[in-house]
Amino acid sequence: MKKYLLFALLIPAILFAGCQKSGQAAGPKAKFKIGLAFDVGGRGDKSFNDSAYNGLKLIAQQFKGYIKDDPDNVNFGTNVEIKYLEPKQGGQDREQLLRVLAEGGYNLIFAVGFMYTDSVVKVAKDFPKVHFALIDGYTPDLVASSNITCLSFAADQSSFLVGALSGLMVADKPKDKVGFIGGMDMPLIHDFQAGYIAGAAYVNPRLRKSGMILSQYIGKDPSAFNDPKTAASIADTMYKQGAYVIYHAAGGSGTGLFEEAKVNGKYAIGVDSDQGYGYMTNDKDPAAKEIGKYIVTSALKRVDEAVLLTASDLIQKGTVAGGYRTFTLADNGVGYAQNDFNKDFLAPYLAKLEDLKAKIISGEIKVPTNDQEAADFVKALK
């Protein structure tokens, strides 16, 4: 009888030990739990989503946390548990992802992209003790006590600077044009386009003429942010029409532009994260570095900093204020990418770009944020 009793007592211990080895290592319960739901394209888009992921890594590093179930095994401690989820290809499960995280006890949940707006509003009502950070989305009438914070970026400002770079790049090329490729045709992306047009026209009078700044959108729905094939076709046409450099605000679709830049021997400008650096440091893909040589810079939208700073409020202050927060050039929330690979290329243009940056911050230059404002801005330059 004693033998059977001893065996019965050992079985749970053996099973528990087996579970420890096969799953996440057992340890102290995390003080904070932070979740994130990616937009379509998910992790690996080399743009918007990857910038958000980098923010999660910064949280883990600075506050001794780990990213649960992450293939890269990001782990600096157990103080903060971090988890991300990826939507289905069409993004139809956005609300479900937020609910899974909220039900999982995550204190702060990031929703990456404006398409989460309706879902955040619904789920936030059902989980009043959970705070939601909506990136690039907007919902009205929020106050400090709301459990939703809308995080936005002055993309027009960073787009103005890369537009100015484009204009300077073709200053001594009397026949060359510049181009812009947008993802989904919507006001948010027209903000990028307006800034780009204004910057290019501001520094280069030739680009104020009709037809010198080419622009086209990939589509009318969110799938436009994950359609490299169409982006490549548009880019090829623009290069053949005389574009020397093309800027994209198209998320994961931008990879199609970059490939065509290499094929055509022309240049491209990335968006959101430092896309050129990402290509140049990619040792897994032999072709990446060759493509990276044609990405002169990227208009940065520091989603990583927004994620980190918002999480810092929760971890250091115990709460996140509801309402609205916009990241601008003044607080380095937006900008343009400089790295070891493009610094020589940018060197002749840096003084001018930094001067323009200072003028935007001071208010001397008011950057347009929509098509009509852009048209008026260019008209006033003549």
Sketch out the chain's domains with CATH numbers: 28-154+304-329 (3.40.50.2300), 155-301+334-381 (3.40.50.2300)
What pLDDT, on the 0 to 100 scale, is given for residue 204?
A: 98
Q: What is the mean pLDDT of the chain?
A: 91
259-300 tens-digit pLDDT? 999 999 999 999 988 999 999 999 989 899 999 999 999 999
168-182 tens-digit pLDDT? 999 999 999 999 999
pTM: 0.82
314-367 tens-digit pLDDT? 999 999 999 999 999 998 899 999 999 999 999 999 999 999 999 999 999 999
What pLDDT, on the 0 to 100 scale, is given for residue 29?
A: 84
Mean pLDDT of 150-178: 97
What pLDDT, on the 0 to 100 scale, is given for residue 28?
A: 63
For the chain, report the end-to-end CA distance as a whole number of angstroms.
Answer: 99
Residue 25 has pLDDT above 50, yes or no: no
108-131 tens-digit pLDDT? 999 999 999 999 999 999 999 999
Confidence of residue 211 (pLDDT cuts 50, 70, 90): very high
Are 315 and 290 a contacting pair, CB within 8 Å?
no
Are 67 and 39 a contacting pair, CB within 8 Å?
no
Mean pLDDT of 241-264: 96
Higher pLDDT, 301 or 12: 301
Residue 133 has pLDDT above 80, yes or no: yes
Closest CA to 89 of 288, 287, 222: 222
